Amino acid sequence: MTQGHRRWGLPATVRTTLVALPLIVFAIAGVLAPVLAPADPTANDLAAGLLPPSADHLLGTDQLGRDQLSRILYGARISLAVTAAVLAISLAAGVVIGTVAGYLGGRVDRVISRLIDMAVSLPGMLVALAVIGVRGPGVENLVIALSLWAWAPYARIARARVAGLRGSPHLDALRLLGAGPVRVIGRHLLPPALAPCLVYASTDVGAIVLSVATLSFLGLGIPPPHAEWGQMLIEGRPYLASAWWLAYPPGIAITAVVFAGNLLGERLAGGDERPSILRWVRPARRPRHSIAPRPAPAGSPATSAAPAASAEDDVVLRVRDLSAGYPHGGGLRRVVAGVSYEVRRGRVLAIVGETGSGKTTSALAPFGLVDPGAVVTGSATLGGGAGALELMGRTPPERHRVNGRRVGVVFQDSLAALNPLRTVGAHVDEAVRNAGRGGRRAATRRVSEELLRLAGLPDPAVIAREFPHQLSGGMRQRVQIAIALAGEPELLVADEPTSALDVTVQAQLLDLLGRLRDELAMAMVVVSHDVAVISRLADSVAVMYAGRIVETGPLATVIGNPDHPYTRGLLDAVPRPGAAPGTRFRTMPGRSGAGPDDTGGCAFAPRCPIAVAACADDRPVLEAASTVAHRSACLRHPGGTALQPGTARERDRL
Amino acid sequence: MRAPGRLRFAGRYVTRWAVDTAGVLLALSAGTFALVLLARGDPAAILAATRAGRSATPEQIEAVRAELGLDAPAPVRYVRWLADASTGDFGLSLRTNTPVGPEIADRMGVTLGLVAGSAAVALVAGVAVGVAGAVLGRGPVRGALRGGALLATSVPAFWLSYLLVLVLALRLGLVPTSGMAGPATWVMPMAVLGLPAAGALSRVVAVTLREALDQPYVLAAQARGSGPVSIVLRDGLPNAAGPILSLAGVTVGSLLVGTVVVEQIFGWPGLGAYFVHAAAARDVPALQAAALALGGGFILANRLADVLQALIDPRSLRDAGGTGPRAAGRGRRPSRRGGTGPREEAT
Amino acid sequence: MLEVERLTAGYAGPLGRDRVTVVKDVSIRVGEGEIVGLVGESGCGKTTLARVITGLSRPSAGVVRFAGVDVHALRGRALRAHRRHIQMVFQDPYLTLSPRQTVRQALVEPLRIHRIGDTRSRSARVDELLDLVGLDPGVGERRPRQLSGGQRQRVAIARALSLGPRLLVCDEPVTALDVSVQAKVLNLLCDLRDRLGLACLFIAHDLSVVRQLADRIAVMRDGRIVEQGPTQDVTAGPRHPYTRALLAATPTIDLGPVASGVHPIGEHVPASRPPGQG
């Protein structure tokens, strides 16, 4: 995106206009042909036949001595007239028919849809040829012949759009508010149905111009002596080799208009694209953009989420000063900044935060499982002691030796994370082979079934033959766990593993994860937005806000004696079992959504009830709160007993 | 839904598909027949004139009308026409006074050969360029591929053939300008037909493959250590196959229709050229037969693509079965499927 | 005020045949100014029940009475008039607002439909509604995509309130929201009940949310209500095994003596304190 801007140096709207330029010229030429044309396009002058381009005839003359430029201009006029007529008819008919079908639904919809399907599956050119074949050439017949099939795509687009909207809560709400069908269709269904139709129309302009030219070329479109591009080509055919000016201009005119229509349609429909997920991600070198406005002292204990390691060999993953960002407006917009955490064998670290806090990126970035456009810096070491492996700056093939072997990942949306076209067994088999535990097909499948059983799925041989959509959400999540376990990993990373599930299923899955941790002595990083959920599983917690860890420590300490005001706020929002009905929650003012670099000081300061002036300027670092293991990034440290009494007074004074 | 269940759904789907296809073909035949009703001028008069050499007397015209059965009401004529057509009898050409059926059969081979050749060009070039476009990063190579593809779809076939004739035949003398004799004469028609189709196909392949590769299951595959080739082949292309296949169907069909132009330009004795001649002469029986042959081929190509697409995707079969419990999943969380519900509790 | 008696309902299968029954023989009441929580897991028929109560779907058996009137017997003008009494808040705040309308347009539309007031009084009403749900008047000029999930849900609530309903049916209104935002929306619903005497049928899958909000709770499973009663009774002494299972599975922050006793959290942040420096 940024590179595109730099290369062209033009804003998007100007570029779109440039793309559409041939269409604009086409329209102007068509409308103003009588004014612009230097000569009568049908005036023969046999004495001046086949003249090459000159000052008198800018594009030369044809075999009958007619001025080529004038004929091209008049050709635009007639193409434009036919195109406009066909578009108007088919757009109007298509949108109305499609909207009616989509709105009414039921039997009417089925009949109309079938009709649309048939019309779309008819070969348009053939219909046009056949109709003209029996009715004879001429502008009127041409319009009829082209409109007969051109309406169908519009009807299909409009129907799909309206049918999709029909059941939406938005329309339900309107009905409840008393809106009648006229208002619903006119105000809320037609406009959204029209928009994609107009996008399609820009492509259709090219298609129609091409059809008109082709039909005329075949002698079945615009009859002579009217000038038409396709017809000019067929008339000039005998002289092509000698008179190049007869061969090129009409062809170029057609191609330019059609090309512009196609390109414009693609631009309007596509929008900006993201880099492909498969793109070869080069290990991050020093990025061109200044990345850290305020580099934290490397290895300083103040930035780490856990105290300096005592038993080195026990640490499974150690992340230091992890930052991740995306190119944005010429610079880099960070979503995660200076995050450090570590997790030990048989322990579960929960990363907790709200939407957009950077928790998922923090957990997945060490393994390269982020958007390929992301720039990730920092360090992440897998394993302790001699087997330690730096994960940052790895090439994709090197990652394949880590992902799926030493690390297993469970994603949030189990339906999206499994390939819908492959059976569950095929997924697990692939994971087993990737982990180097595969053999012959049957042997691989035996391992897969064992894994499915381990993930608590009964009857694994049957489950393995099912497709993802045939399983419930809880079962799919177990399948993901089985896949993650294929490499007998040291570390399991789970991103919101239970969030879309019913509470009873959720409880079972949490129990399963807990059991796996105990039995396999795996380390786990669990990402969640729900403090209550992870309290069943986690040993320690890291709370994230605006891309940074604001508080971390043992679960019981953080929940029981939170230090950071954001952690407090988060805990206040969790419903309490003993509260009387109607008890209000204590809430935090304002809304989250800031990035790590949006403020110079503490990102939470604008919402913080105990913030002081310094909070807006000085960025707090993680430092010991109640115990060594319990750290919090707050200048005030309200959890510290010494500070507590003074809090209110200091605040009043300010 | 074990394997036999899946087969049952597949069977049900294919049956429904066959009935639908028959319906569309019937509609096509009705549409083709209706061409007679749209026709300007009296077919009986035209044929009578063809036979008599000059203009025919009213008696001659009436005789031809009775012979062709044109005095019966339209539905009756349609049924008769359809019955005859199903045996290959399309009546007499108004232009040549010879039977249309055998002529169509003769020309069919030429056209099918041309379509097969250009379809091969379109599919190979289209898929290769498309995959490259999806996998390559932003850069000059991809830009050139995309621009070329877009240009190929925008150039009118008749003008492209002019350009090729000018360059390949007249200037370089590599191939003959027209005719159908020997491999060299196939180059230009195949290129003119195949290249625009390849351009259109490559754009769809690039877009849908890229979309398929953007799905979370690709991230999940990377997380379990799968390599890029495996991901493109196992996760990318199969999931992109739907739109690609349906466009491939449309492409093959439109190649059939495209023969109308190309055969005309290069002077090939195929169905397309026949169709144009019939249209130019308002030779209704010939027009009907050619339209039915070309249109039928177009529709079959499309419908075949649909059925292939459905057989690839296990989800579509279940919907075709009409008992999909997916409809029950109105809420945010997908509901569990009927038969496996208790398993959740069993664990 | 709202009485649902022996209601059975379902929806048509994929091809218009085989109607699926998802609500079976349900009876439930909501009194004036009362918040009733309806809890159940996905697919238990909660949403279908809500749609039948609001009149979006028709029941196959049973009656929904509002203030003594059979809702599904109403037609034409009477139905339009009735619509004003029961409104609904939907689960997904991203889908309930038209992306093409500004907040102000969305809030004015119901007033236009019912021909209430003139341009000026409608505008004043919109400001009042925005204030009621705790939104800044400046939000009125924004479009939904410029709003956060919580703000969207507030707008949806404001629109539902625009006609002055007496009953609000909320179908999982906080499920798609972050916990801290969820707390604010729940507070808002409590405030509205207190200020406007609004009754509320609050549907959720999360028992922990419902028990802090509702006066009474009904637990639904497989289309039937298996237990209902005052919140304290249901949560403290559940009688149905399913209710017990649901209670056991509901995630809570459980820290033994600390959680059950006086929680240390919040001592430092009095509820009456004005919002922070921002």
pLDDT tens for each residue of A310-329: 455 688 999 999 999 888 77
pLDDT category at A185 given cuts 50, 70, 90 is: confident
If phi > 0 it is left, if psi is from -120 to 50 it is alpha, else beta; for residue C222 that is left
Nearest CA distance, A585 vs chain C (angstrom): 6
How far is Cα B256 from Cα C16, in angstroms, rounded to an integer?
39
Q: What is the DSSP string of A599-611?
A: SSS-TTGGG-TT-
Length of chain C in terms of residues written: 278
Do B331 and C91 count as a contact with CB atoms less than 8 A apart? yes
Q: Measuring CA to CA, which residue among B137, B306, B147, B313 is closest to residue B210?
A: B137
B330 CB neighbours in chain C (<8 A) are 47-48
Q: What is the sign of the dihedral through the CA atoms of C113, C115, C120 and C122?
A: negative
Q: What is the pLDDT of residue C200?
A: 93
Please tell us whether the domain made up of A16-280 is placed in CATH 3.40.30.10: no
If DSSP codes are grouped into helix, strand and coil, which group holds residue C201? strand
pLDDT tens for each residue of A47-90: 877 788 888 888 888 888 888 888 889 988 988 899 999 999 99
* C206 contacts A589? CB cut-off 8 A: no
Contact status, residue C65 vs residue C27, Cβ threshold 8 Å: no
- Return the structure tokens found at A516: 């796996």
B224 in Cβ contact with A404 (< 8 Å):
yes
Q: Which residue has the higher pLDDT, A312 or B56?
A: B56
Query: What is the b/e burial string over C22-43, where b = at least 16 CB atoms within 10 angstroms of the residue's CB?
Result: bbbebebebeeebbbbbbbbbb
Q: Say if residue A312 is exposed, middle or buried (CB neighbours under 10 Å; 0-12, 13-18, 19+).
A: exposed
pLDDT of residue C155: 92
Percent of chain B with pLDDT over 70: 88
State the smallest CA–CA distance between residue A590 and chain B in angstroms. 27
CA distance linking residue A334 with residue A416, whole number of Å: 26
What is the predicted pLDDT for the residue at B291? 87
Which candidate from A107, A562, A607 shows the least CB-CB separation from C276? A607
**What is the arithmetic mean of pLDDT over A462-482?**
90
Q: Rounded to 5 degrees, what angle do the CA atoms C39, C43, C45 make?
A: 65
**Residue A564, min C-alpha distance to chain B (Å):** 33
Q: Is the dihedral of CA C242, C245, C249, C250 positive or negative?
A: positive
Q: How confident is the model at residue B340 (pLDDT cuts 50, 70, 90)?
A: very low
Q: Does A195 touch chain C (CB under 8 A)?
A: no
- In A167-243, which ranges are continuous DSSP H helix? 169-176, 181-183, 190-217, 229-236
pLDDT over threshold 50, residue A370 = yes
More reliable by pLDDT, A473 or A308: A473
Q: Nearest-CA residue of chain A relative to C183?
A: A573
Q: Is the pLDDT of residue A27 over 50?
A: yes
One-letter amino acid identity for A24? I
ipTM, two decimals, is 0.82
- Whether C42 sits inside 8 A of B335 (CB atoms) is yes
d(CA A390, CA A398): 11
Q: Is the pLDDT of residue A106 over 70?
A: yes
Cβ–Cβ under 8 Å, residues A597 and A337: yes
- Give me the residue label for tokens 């570029």: A15
Tell me how far apart the alpha carbons of residues C69 and A593 are, in angstroms, rounded to a whole number.
Answer: 47
Among A412, A460, A458, smallest CA distance to B223 is for: A412
* Chains adjacent to A (≥3 CB pairs closer than 8 angstroms): B, C
Q: How many CB pairs under 8 A join A and C?
A: 206
The residue extents of the domains of chain A are 16-280, 424-488, 558-565+587-653
**Number of other CB atoms surrounding residue C50 within 10 Å:** 23
B137 vs A411: CB contact, 8 Å cut-off? no
Taking CA atoms, B72 is separated from B32, B88, B100, in Å, by: 18, 21, 22
Interface of C with A in 97-126 (CB under 8 A): 97-98, 100, 109-110, 113-114
pLDDT at residue A606 greater than cutoff 80: yes
Q: Does C47 touch chain A (CB under 8 A)?
A: no
**Distance between CA atoms of residues B130 and A533, nearest Å:** 45
CB contact under 8 A, B327 and C20: yes
The pair of three-digit structure tokens given for residue B169, joined into one six-digit string: 């035949």
Of B133, B135, B305, the C-alpha closest to B204 is B133
- DSSP H helical ranges for chain C: 46-54, 76-83, 103-113, 119-132, 149-161, 179-196, 207-213, 231-236, 241-249, 257-260
How close A174 gets to chain C, by Cα (Å)? 8
Hey, which residues does A331 pair with through a beta bridge?
A328
Q: Is a pLDDT exceeding 60 seen at residue A540? A: yes
Task: Determine, for residues A504 and C245 on separate chains, whether the beta-carbon distance falls below 8 Å.
Answer: yes
Q: Is A188 on the interface with C (CB under 8 A)?
A: yes
Tell me which chain B residues have a C-beta less than 8 angstroms from the C-beta of A486.
Answer: 224
> Which residues of chain C are under the pLDDT cut of 70?
12-18, 254-278
How high is the pLDDT of residue B328? 31
pLDDT at B6: 62
Residue B246 and residue B307: Cα distance in Å, rounded? 9
CB B193 within 8 Å of CB B259: yes
Cβ of B324 within 8 Å of Cβ of C20? The answer is no
B327 at C interface, C-beta within 8 A:
yes
pLDDT for res A126:
81
Q: What rounded mean pLDDT belongs to chain A?
A: 82
Residue C65 DSSP SS3: strand
Distance of residue B2 Cα from the nearest chain A Cα, in angstroms: 7
Report pLDDT digits (tens) over B243-286: 888 888 888 888 888 888 888 888 888 898 898 888 888 788 88
pLDDT at B240 exceeding the cut of 70? yes
Q: What is the model's pTM? A: 0.79
**Average of per-residue pLDDT across B77-101:** 85
Q: How far apart are CA B261 and CA A126, in angstroms?
A: 11
**How is chain C split into domains, by residue range?**
93-164
Give strand pairing partners of A61. Answer: A67
Are A567 and A551 within 8 A, CB to CB?
A: yes
With bands split at pLDDT 50, 70 and 90, how would you rate the model's confidence at A266? confident
* Closest residue to A503, CB basis, from C80, C182, C206: C206
Structure tokens at B82: 């359809």
Phi, psi for residue C23 in degrees, rounded to 5: -120, 125
Q: Do C14 and B323 touch (CB under 8 A)?
A: yes
Distance from CA of A144 to the nearest CA of B (A): 12
Highest mean pLDDT among A192-206, A589-603, C153-167: C153-167
**Amino acid of residue B282:** R
Question: Could you read off the pLDDT of A117-146 as tens digits, one per residue?
Answer: 878 777 788 888 888 888 888 888 899 989
Nearest residue in A to B306, CA atom:
A121
Which of C41, C188, C277 best probes binding to A when mutated, by most A CB atoms within 10 angstroms? C277
In chain A, pLDDT over 90 holds for what percent of residues?
A: 20
Helix (H) or strand (E) holding A353: none
Residue A154 distance to chain B (closest CA, Å):
17
The half-sphere exposure of B94 on its side-chain side, counting CA atoms within 13 A, is 29
Q: Which pLDDT band, with edges at 50, 70 and 90, does A424 fall under?
A: very high
Name the helix (H) or strand (E) containing B286.
Answer: helix B284-312
- pLDDT tens for B172-223 read 877 777 777 777 788 889 999 999 999 989 988 888 888 888 888 988 998 8
Is the sign of the CA dihedral C21, C22, C25, C30 positive or negative? negative
Rounded to whole angstroms, the Cα distance separating C255 from A560 reads 7
Chain segment A431-456, per-residue pLDDT in tens: 999 888 878 899 999 999 999 999 99
Local confidence band at A418 (pLDDT 50, 70, 90 cut-offs): very high
When pLDDT is cut at 50, 70 and 90, the band that residue B169 belongs to is confident
Is pLDDT at A633 greater than 60 in this prediction?
A: yes
CA angle at A580 for the pair A578 and A582, rounded to the nearest 5°: 135
Nearest CA to A337 out of A592, A595, A630 is that of: A595
> Closest-CA residue in chain C for A530?
C179
Residue range A382-395: average pLDDT?
80
**Residue A572 to residue C183, Cβ atoms within 8 A:** yes
Residue in chain C lying closest to B333 (CA): C42
Please, is A647 exposed, middle or buried when counting C-beta atoms within 10 Å of its C-beta (0-12, 13-18, 19+)?
A: middle
Quickly list DSSP for A569-591: HHHHTSPPTTPPTTPPPP--SS-
- C-alpha dihedral (A398, A400, A402, A404), degrees to nearest 10: 180
Q: What pLDDT sits at residue B133?
A: 86
Domains (range + CATH), chain B: 3-85 (no CATH), 100-328 (1.10.3720.10)
